[in-house]
Amino acid sequence: VELRFSKDMLPYLTELSREFTKYALADVVRMDSSHAIRLYELLMQWDSTGERVIAVADLRHWLQLEERYPLTADLRRWVIEPAIAQINEHSPL
């Protein structure tokens, strides 16, 4: 398969590579938790920096869990720890 784009498209294609997080589909295809996949995507956004501090409220928002797991201990036990286990098992991260 060969794709050809006009020169007018080049700026848009270049911008796409800067605006989205890149990761290998093979890393997430075996993950069965949407929270693991989303957490992996978030971690990959900051892969080059090596560190990121995230407020619990922001993490809840990014994982779309604002109304669930009101106790941080429950969020950690039922969402974060299982997600990290899947990420560690299925990706090089």
Q: Among 20-24, 76-80, 83-87, where is mean pLDDT lowest?
A: 20-24
Domain-wise residue ranges, the chain: 23-90
Q: pLDDT tens digits for 49-76?
A: 777 788 999 999 999 999 999 999 999 9
Tell which wins on pLDDT, 40 or 75.
Answer: 75
Eight-class DSSP state of 65: -
Are the beta carbons of 27 and 93 closer than 8 angstroms?
A: yes
Predicted TM-score (pTM) of this structure = 0.69
Rounded CA separation 9/14 (Å): 9
Rounded CA separation 65/57 (Å): 9
Candidates 27, 30, 33; CA nearest to 47 is 27
Q: Which helix (H) or strand (E) holds 35?
A: helix 34-45
